[in-house]
Chains A and B, each alone.
Chain A
Amino acid sequence: MNELVHPLHRFIRPSSKHSTFCPGCGDGTVTQSILRAIDGLGMELDDFIFVSGIGCAAWIPSPFFNADVLHTTHGRPIAFAFGIKMGLPDKKVMVVSGDGDLVAIGGNHLIQNARRNVEMVVLCVNNGIYGMTGGQAAPTTPMGIKTTTTPYGTVENVFNISKLVMAAGASFVACWTTAHPKQLTNSIKKAIQKKGFAFIEVFSQCPIQFGRKTGVESAVQMLEDYKRRSVTPKEAAKLSDEELKDRIVVGELIDLEKPEMSEEVRKMKSKAQGGGE
């Protein structure tokens, strides 16, 4: 009998024998979507350099992807990725990290590089909590939720991450949930091909940390919840702010053509050397 091998197994680092994600975690779905997108485009992992920060989602490429991977300090993966892209503009650069890493501690690098429109894919896995450190509130934790650092309930408003990145100037922004794996895969394909800063937010269930805090400890129920709460931008346009409060606007939210920084740098160097653009 032939051994059954997962079609994406060739992308996994041979020394990685097991997953580090908790049972029911959405990171496995995100992992599959990334690898299916790369496979679907007929690309290889050697076409990419992966960069991640600190937190559960940062472990998606590191060490699992059999590729060049830079696993960086907390909040800074986009800043490292900037140097990688400017140093080697012909490679695809993909950052995979969580909401705490990219939006809380690393928020400035996120918006500044969206503004610069540096060609890279940034995949932000939003589980609404700090999972790895044991369930502390994040800037994405809904108001009122009791977490280990907010035992009386959170008292802060949340970030709408996709809106933030759109406002900062990214040329491609999509938002999905782990209940939309096919749509997510398609958007990742588009993001990889985008000549510009391509940002994808994925709402991803964390039944262990987030679930315990909200009393919904079933991954299936959390996915059902995502489906119930998801609306398209068209539907969202008809809803009031109050009605939108608990909703997730899913879809490709923006797809623009605008000057991309590594290309502008190439032109600048040519000018400095006395040539034309």
Chain B
Amino acid sequence: MMGNVACAEGAIAAGCEFTAGYPITPATEVANRLAERLPQVGGAFFQMEDEISAIAAVIGASWVGRKSMTVTSGPGISLMLENIGFAIGVETPCVVVNVQRGAPTTGMPTVGVQGDMVQAKRGSHGDYEIIALCPSSPQEMFDHTIIAFNYAERYRTPVFILSDAFVGHMREEVVIPEPEKIRTEYRKIPEPGTDPQKIKGFLDEDVAAMPIFGRGFKAHVTSSCHDEYGKRNLIDISALDNFIRKLSNKILKHKEEIILVERDYEGAEIVLVSYGAVARAAAMAAAQARKDGIPVGTLRLITAWPFPEEEIEKMARQAKRVIVLENNLGQIYPYIKAEAARYADVSFLPPRLVGEIQDPEDILRKIREVLK
């Protein structure tokens, strides 16, 4: 199954009912599949006038209780960023799939590049935390989409799937479990009949119950600075500080439950750190190096955001040398270096050509080079 199709199937398996998007390469197969499949199970895909309205509609549908998702690529994310900030600010569960492509600007739509890694974290204005997952295979396009929905519902936040054209268009076997074997979560909501004036629907570091619309909660939902009750406050800067910190801490406090990595570096002196499609090349190179008697391991980031500092530190304390591999000019590299450089030599290996995944031979050459 194609990665993009697996992503759509993952959304359906997670209980997604509402999707909206705008046609864009290389993400179209996700939308096409959703448009065909969702109505069969009572949901729908809506083609909007642009990506701004797509994410807006997704947020609106989430507020009436629907599990919601949008799918796009870099140019679409650029348009969505203001409303992604809105979703963070009013704590809206939703999933945003970015099948990354050659960029900047219109770039090269059919080529996979990990070019929007920091955009996902820093693209919207202001301080905030986000959750982002990096699938490496069609199977993970399915699995991670379910995880993304569960995180979105549990933490009331947008969750990114940072895929790319390689993973999106890759075809591999995908195992779809029986529905009863798939664990799905749904947001907490206030008890029916709760006095609306007593509902604290926002800014709880342990995630407030969501006063979704249509249930008589009389929720006032504003992206302006607000308090725990949703009441706007545009005067008191301590309210702004509370607004910023509570939203961020809601994610940071639960980092340990959110962060997923794949460690395979026991006894390794050299560790290759990567994520997404590039991790496949890193695993191949590490296997070959070990065959050649060089102690090479790998650390794959599944969660890119919140950034897994502790995992990087733990790895760097053991390794002597760390090589970071990304299919870009080094976007997550500075974050990794900041944590790892105290304990190990850290270097970066870009692909020979951006838009190409590193050749395992090139990785082996780099390994031999850092050993000198």
Residues of chain A having any CB pair with chain B under 8 Å? 13-15, 45-46, 49, 51, 62-63, 66-73, 76, 79-84, 86-88, 91, 108-109, 112, 265, 268-269, 271-273
Question: In the complex, which of the residues A69, A79, A272 contacts B40, with contact meaning CB atoms closer than 8 Å?
Answer: A272
Structural contact, A79 and B63, CB atoms closer than 8 A = no
Structural contact, A112 and B40, CB atoms closer than 8 A = no
Q: Which 3 pairs between the two chains have the least Cβ-Cβ distance? A: A83-B60, A83-B57, A272-B39
Structural contact, B86 and A79, CB atoms closer than 8 A = no
Structural contact, B39 and A273, CB atoms closer than 8 A = yes
> Given the complex, which residues of B lie within 8 Å of A76, measured CB to CB?
52-53, 56, 83
Structural contact, A49 and B214, CB atoms closer than 8 A = yes
Count of inter-chain pairs, beta carbons less than 8 A? 131
Structural contact, A71 and B223, CB atoms closer than 8 A = yes
> Given the complex, which residues of A lie within 8 Å of B304, measured CB to CB?
none
Interface size class of B (residues with CB under 8 A): 35 or more
> Given the complex, which residues of A lie within 8 Å of B59, measured CB to CB?
80, 83
Question: In the complex, which of the residues A13, A67, A79 contacts B53, with contact meaning CB atoms closer than 8 Å?
Answer: A79
Structural contact, A88 and B53, CB atoms closer than 8 A = no
Within 8 A of A (CB), among B42-71: 42, 44, 46, 48-50, 52-53, 56-66, 68
Q: Does B231 contact A (CB under 8 A)?
A: yes
| Least distance between A219 CB and chain B CB atoms (Å) | 25
> Given the complex, which residues of B lie within 8 Å of A84, measured CB to CB?
60-61, 63-64, 213
Question: In the complex, which of the residues A73, A86, A265 contacts B86, with contact meaning CB atoms closer than 8 Å?
Answer: A73
Q: In whole angstroms, what is the CA distance A273 to B65 when docked?
A: 22
B 212-243 binary contact with A (CB < 8 Å = 1; else 0): 01101111111110000101100000000000
Structural contact, A69 and B58, CB atoms closer than 8 A = no
Structural contact, A87 and B66, CB atoms closer than 8 A = yes
> Given the complex, which residues of B lie within 8 Å of A14, measured CB to CB?
197
Q: With A76-B53, A76-B83, A109-B53 given, is the CB distance from A68 to B219 under 8 Å?
A: yes
Question: In the complex, which of the residues A71, A91, A268 contacts B39, with contact meaning CB atoms closer than 8 Å?
Answer: A268
The closest CB in chain B to the CB of A67 belongs to B218
| Least distance between A262 CB and chain B CB atoms (Å) | 10
> Given the complex, which residues of B lie within 8 Å of A272, measured CB to CB?
39-40
Structural contact, B56 and A68, CB atoms closer than 8 A = no
Q: Does B202 contact A (CB under 8 A)?
A: no
> Given the complex, which residues of A lie within 8 Å of B42, measured CB to CB?
269, 273
Q: Does B160 contact A (CB under 8 A)?
A: no
Q: Does B322 contact A (CB under 8 A)?
A: no
> Given the complex, which residues of A lie within 8 Å of B151, measured CB to CB?
none
> Given the complex, which residues of A lie within 8 Å of B218, measured CB to CB?
13, 45-46, 66-68
| Least distance between B39 CB and chain A CB atoms (Å) | 3
> Given the complex, which residues of A lie within 8 Å of B229, measured CB to CB?
15
Question: In the complex, which of the residues A51, A86, A109 contacts B61, with contact meaning CB atoms closer than 8 Å?
Answer: A86
Q: Does B82 contact A (CB under 8 A)?
A: yes
> Given the complex, which residues of A lie within 8 Å of B44, measured CB to CB?
86, 265, 268-269
The closest CB in chain A to the CB of B18 belongs to A87
| Least distance between B82 CB and chain A CB atoms (Å) | 6
Q: In whole angstroms, what is the CA distance A248 to B65 when docked?
A: 42
> Given the complex, which residues of B lie within 8 Å of A73, measured CB to CB?
56, 82-83, 86, 223
> Given the complex, which residues of A lie within 8 Å of B62, measured CB to CB?
83, 87
Q: In whole angstroms, what is the CA distance A108 to B82 when docked?
A: 17
Structural contact, B231 and A63, CB atoms closer than 8 A = yes
Q: Does B289 contact A (CB under 8 A)?
A: no
Q: What would 5 more interface pairs be, CB under 8 Å, given A71-B221, A82-B60, A112-B48? A: A45-B218, A68-B221, A73-B223, A87-B60, A87-B64
Within 8 A of A (CB), among B298-326: none
The closest CB in chain A to the CB of B229 belongs to A15
Q: Does B20 contact A (CB under 8 A)?
A: yes
| Least distance between B211 CB and chain A CB atoms (Å) | 8
Report which residue of A15, A51, A269, A272 has the largest number of chain B beta carbons within 10 angstroms of its beta carbon: A272
Structural contact, B213 and A83, CB atoms closer than 8 A = no
Structural contact, B213 and A70, CB atoms closer than 8 A = yes
Structural contact, A71 and B56, CB atoms closer than 8 A = no
Structural contact, A87 and B49, CB atoms closer than 8 A = no
> Given the complex, which residues of B lie within 8 Å of A72, measured CB to CB?
56, 86, 223
